[in-house]
């Protein structure tokens, strides 16, 4: 596997997880979660701390990253989101509140990094997690394990949403909160669980992302526009759309930069963030409902002639 492809796969899996989390939180609580940025960074620092302080491979600490992200999500839900939802705050207020929370988390990350530097003589402000990786099937283990982990996690999430009573109740609440409430479903618990899963996904995404790019205290803060780009590309009304959107954004960035730098030279690397942004802008202007909102079947029908049974 070419190096850019390996990194691209890791990065795209990370974005898929993070954008999925953003989408999940948006469709349940109508909150654009800015705190995804620092939740992701915390995920990275949990894995980093585990590896340098305890030892072993990064992957064994991913579950802890998930749990820590969930914890941050639960705090956000009880401290901020729940009171505001009760007050029927506007989307902007909900978004701003998570921004405030993000800044608090960011300062905590910075202090933690200071502490790691001082207390353990580490260099936590520029970390190449790739150094802790090993080789698997002739390529970096992360390029195999992380996409696999993303697929397993997301399939698990899918099974949860389709097969379990609570998962179905979650989908019911997403679609029609009023009727779900009237059916006796406690929306409070649904929102709490979506913060648990969403926060965990953010942290997993951050931990995975650090395997592809340099881990810094502002890892998540710099990446959050791409997470949102993925979620927006996915259309923000289906979890699967968000996951796909994140993956497409990540892959497009790596493939695009690779192709362009081959053609124009390495200076293109500096402008790599233009690719996801253009994707997002194009989506918003041309398909405001995102990838999931494009009438794929109708398009196929137009392209390949009207076939029987294809709704146009």
Partner 1 sequence: MLTIKGLNSGYGKLQVLYDLSMEVPSKGITVVVGPNGAGKTTLLCSIMGIANIFSGDLIFQGASLKGLLTHLLAKKGISYVPQMGNVFADLTVMDNLHMAGYLIPKDEAKIKAEQMAVMFPVLKKFVHRKAGTLSGGERRMLAVAMGLMKNPKLMLLDELSTDLAPIIAEKVLQEVARLKNELGITVLLVEQMAKRALEIGDTAYLLVSGGVKYAGKASDLLQEPDLCSLYLGIKPSLLKSKSLELPSSAEGSG
Partner 2 sequence: MTTGNGLAVKLKNFLLTREVMVGLAVLTFMIYFYIGRGLPMVLTILIDFAVFAIITMSLNLEVGYTGISQFGRVIAVIAGAFAVGAIPGRFMAGFMGLPAGLSYGDDAVNFQVVPQITALLENSWLLSIVFFIFCILIAALSGAGVGWLVSRPAIRLKEAYLGISLLAFGDFFMWVGHNWMPLVGGSTGVFVPDPFRVFGAARFEVVVITIFVFSILVYVYLNKLTRSPFGRMLKMVRDNDVSAAAAGKDIVKIRTQSLVIGAAIAAMAGGLYVIYTGTVTAMGFGRLTWTFWPWAFMMLGGIGSTIGVLLGVFVLTILRTLITIYRFRIFGFLMAFGIDPVWLEFTLMGAVIVGVILFLPYGLVPEKVEPILRSSSIKRLLGS
Burial 21-47 (b: 16+ CB within 10 A, else e): bbbbbbbbbebbbbbbbbbbbbbbbbb
Chosen from partner 1, partner 2, none, partner binding at 176 (C-beta under 5 to 8 Å by type): partner 1
DSSP 3-state of 127: strand
Tokens of 93: 């207020």
Q: Which listed range, 6-14, 61-69, 98-106, 162-170, lies at the site for partner 2 (CB under 8 A)?
A: 98-106
Binding part of the chain for partner 2, among 42-50, 144-152, 180-188, 268-276 by CB under 8 A, reads 268-276
In this chain, which of 52, 122, 277, 294 binds partner 2, going by CB under 8 A?
277
Q: Which of 60, 117, 155, 176 binds partner 2 (CB under 8 A)?
A: 117
Cβ 229 to partner 2, closest distance in Å? 7
Quick one: which of 170, 229, 233, 248 contacts partner 2 (CB under 8 A)?
229
175 binds partner 1, rule: CB under 8 A: yes
Return the H-helix or E-strand segment holding 132: none
Q: Which CB atom, from 120 or from 296, has the smaller least distance to partner 1?
A: 296
Q: In this structure, are residues 235 and 184 in contact, taking their beta carbons and an 8 Å threshold?
A: no
Interacting residue with partner 1 among 6, 169, 210, 231 (CB under 8 A): 169
Residue from the set 92, 178, 286, 303 that interacts with partner 1 by CB under 8 A = 178
Please tell me the distance from the alpha carbon of residue 175 to that of residue 150, in angstroms, as a whole number. 25
Whole-Å CA distances, 181 to 188, 192, 297 = 10, 15, 34
The least CB distance from residue 118 to partner 2, in Å, is: 2
Q: How far is the CB of 299 from partner 1 (least distance, A)?
A: 21
Nearest alpha carbon to residue 14 among 255, 193, 201, 222: 201
- Compute the least distance from the CB of residue 158 to partner 1, in Å: 14
Structure tokens at 201: 């996904």
Closest distance of CB 155 from partner 2, Å: 29
Q: Name residues contacting partner 1, limited to 196-215 (CB under 8 A).
A: none
Please give the residues from 86 up to 125 whose contact with partner 1 meets the rule CB under 8 A. Answer: 88
Pick one of partner 2, partner 1, none as the site partner of residue 281 (Cβ within 5 to 8 A by kind): partner 2
Binding-site partner at residue 101 among partner 1, partner 2, none, CB < 5 to 8 Å by type: partner 2
Gap between the Cα atoms of 231 and 93, Å rounded:
20
Least distance in angstroms from the C-beta of 184 to partner 1: 4
Which of residues 168 and 294 has its CB atom nearest to partner 1 in the complex?
A: 168
Residues that bind partner 2 (CB under 8 A): 32, 79-80, 83-84, 89-93, 95-97, 99-108, 110-111, 114-115, 117-119, 221-222, 225, 228-229, 232, 267, 270-271, 273-274, 277, 280-281, 284-285, 288
């Amino acid at each position: 596997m070419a190096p850019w492809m390996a990194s691209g796969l890791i990065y795209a899996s990370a974005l898929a997880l993070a954008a999925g989390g953003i989408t999940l939180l948006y469709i349940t609580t109508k909150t654009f979660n800015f705190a995804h940025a620092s939740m992701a960074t915390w995920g990275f620092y949990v894995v980093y701390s585990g590896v340098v302080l305890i030892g072993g491979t990064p992957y064994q600490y991913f579950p802890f990253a998930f749990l820590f992200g969930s914890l941050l999500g639960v705090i956000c839900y009880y401290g901020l989101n729940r009171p505001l939802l009760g007050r029927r705050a506007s989307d902007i207020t909900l978004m701003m509140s998570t921004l405030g929370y993000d800044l608090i988390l960011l300062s905590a990350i910075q202090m933690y990094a200071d502490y790691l530097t001082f207390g353990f003589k580490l260099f936590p402000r520029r970390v190449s997690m790739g150094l802790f990786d090993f080789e698997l099937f002739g390529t970096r283990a992360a390029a195999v394990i992380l996409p696999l982990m993303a697929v397993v996690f997301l399939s698990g999430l899918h099974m949860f949403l389709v097969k379990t009573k609570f998962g179905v109740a979650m989908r019911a609440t997403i679609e029609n909160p009023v009727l779900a409430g009237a059916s006796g479903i406690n929306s409070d618990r649904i929102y709490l669980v979506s913060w648990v899963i969403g926060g965990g996904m953010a942290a997993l995404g951050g931990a995975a992302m650090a395997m592809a790019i340099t881990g810094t205290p502002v890892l998540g803060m710099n990446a959050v526009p791409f997470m949102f780009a993925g979620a927006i590309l996915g259309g923000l009304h289906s979890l699967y759309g968000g996951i796909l959107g994140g993956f497409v954004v990540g892959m497009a960035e790596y493939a695009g930069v690779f192709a362009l730098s081959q053609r124009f030279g390495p200076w293109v690397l500096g402008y790599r963030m233009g690719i996801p942004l253009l994707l997002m802008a194009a989506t918003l202007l041309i398909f405001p409902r995102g990838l999931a909102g494009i009438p794929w079947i109708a398009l196929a029908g137009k392209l390949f002639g009207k076939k029987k049974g294809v709704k146009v």
